[in-house]
Structure 1
Amino acid sequence: MLGHCPDAALPSATGDHSYFGYLHRDDVDALHEEFAQRGALIQRPPADQKHAIREFLVITPDGHRLMIGQKLAVERGS
């Protein structure tokens, strides 16, 4: 459920401080696909990051940012 606070400053006005959570998920690609099909505001599609996590960024209608990530398998000895 998304909150609605019409008298508060929009989260989008707070820049990097508009993040409200980081969720770990087993299959970020499947979740991204589901969100995209339902019309979610995807700011950044799934991508592998240097810190061995595949993640994407979704934004709520009022501007909160939520990063969703999945740990990637790390090869030993490389």
Structure 2
Amino acid sequence: MPLKRITVAVEADDLALLRAAAAREKTTVAALVREAIHFAALSGRTRDEPFFSATYTSVGAAADAPGPDQSAVPGGTTHRVG
């Protein structure tokens, strides 16, 4: 799915924390923000919907993407769905 560009204003202290986290995780601030937005968007889901989509790969996930019966979870590990 193509990405859409948005603008987000953050406090200077929060941006510093994001930059430090991105450096620690060896990723970008944008990737961390996308992941946070994804989790926030899923937070209103109903119980009969899976929390993680089968196609979403978290920041720091292994190079091999999860199969159709698995989905990525934070920290790069996988969790079998179903």
Same fold (TM over 0.5): no
In proportion to residue count, which structure has more helix?
Answer: 2
Which structure's relative contact order is higher, taking Cα pairs within 8 Å and 6+ residues apart?
1
In proportion to residue count, which structure has more strand?
Answer: 1
* TM value normalised by structure 2: 0.26
* TM value normalised by structure 1: 0.27
